[in-house]
Structure 1
Amino acid sequence: MHQSRLSNIVIDCQLEDLAPAIEFWSRALGKPVADADEDGDGKYAKLQTAADEPVILLQKVDHPNRVHLDIETDDIDAEVQRLEALGAHRIEFVHGRWWVMQAPSGHRFCVVQRPEGRAIQPHANRWD
């Protein structure tokens, strides 16, 4: 048995400077900026959300602008296999930490490991 849930909404921005996108999305969504440079490399920013809401991230990317979802799980291999059985396929394993996948509809999404020590609840699905 493993668990998974929608954890992140990621706004992919093909920009040199992420700051204008951070300001726009913060104001548009009414979410203060929690961290304008989450990883210290200028590629990720995080908006403030409640504990039971998905995290909203902005990500500087090289591909065209889009929004993608992250599915958080306590067992990446089991979750990837479950999603493949539903018709998704693997695209790339990134930094040895998460899978970029593609749904049968053509949409890209990621399967990410739940951070150590953090409960996956609320809103987790249990899969046998």
Structure 2
Amino acid sequence: MHHSRLSTIVIDCDVDDLDAATLFWSQALGKPVASADQDGDGRYAELRTAADEPIILLQKVEHASRVHLDIETDDLEAETARLEQLGAQRVALVRGRWWVMQAPSGHRFCVIQPQRETFGPHLNRWD
């Protein structure tokens, strides 16, 4: 058995400077900036959300701007295999830590390790 849930709404931004996009989305969504430079490389910013809400992450990218979802799981292989059975395809394993997947609809999403200390109330259990 493994578990998974919606973890993160990722706003991919094809921009030179993530600060303006972070300010816009912070004001548009009414969420204060938790971290303007999450990893110290200028690629990730996070908006503050409640513990039972999905994380909202802005990511500086070099492809068209879009929004994608992250599904967190306590068993990366089991969850990607489950999603493949539903018709998704693995696209790339990134840094050995998460899978970029593609849904049958063509949408990209990621399967990632747990992002918060507790897995939370909105948890799916899969056999």
Please give the TM-score of this superposition, normalised by the length of structure 2.
Answer: 0.98
Q: Which residue of 2 aligns with 1:118?
A: 117
Alignment RMSD: 0.9
Report the count of equivalent residues.
127
Deviations 1:19-70 (A, max 9, x none): 1100000000000000000011000000000000000000000010000000
Give the partner amino acid of 2:27: R
Q: CA deviation at 1:78?
A: 0.2
Q: How far, CA to CA, are the matches of 2:79 and 2:47 in structure 1?
A: 27
Q: Which residue of 1 aligns with 2:45?
A: 45
Q: How far, CA to CA, are the matches of 2:118 and 2:80 in structure 1?
A: 20
Q: How far, CA to CA, are the matches of 1:122 and 1:94 in structure 2?
A: 28
Q: CA deviation at 1:91?
A: 0.3
Q: CA deviation at 1:119?
A: 2.3
Q: How far, CA to CA, are the matches of 1:87 and 1:35 in structure 2?
A: 35
Q: How far, CA to CA, are the matches of 1:31 and 1:119 in structure 2?
A: 21
Q: CA deviation at 1:114?
A: 1.1
Give the partner amino acid of 1:25: W
Consecutive unaligned residues in structure 1, runs of 5 or more: none
Consecutive unaligned residues in structure 2, runs of 5 or more: none
Q: How does 1:22-101 map to 2 (within 5 A)?
A: 22-101=22-101
Partner SS state of residue 46, structure 1: strand
Give the partner amino acid of 1:71: I
Q: How far, CA to CA, are the matches of 1:118 and 1:76 in structure 2?
A: 17
Q: How far, CA to CA, are the matches of 2:118 and 2:48 in structure 1?
A: 19
Fraction of identical pairs, as percent: 70
Is 2:123 aligned against 1:127? no
Q: How far, CA to CA, are the matches of 2:98 and 2:47 in structure 1?
A: 21
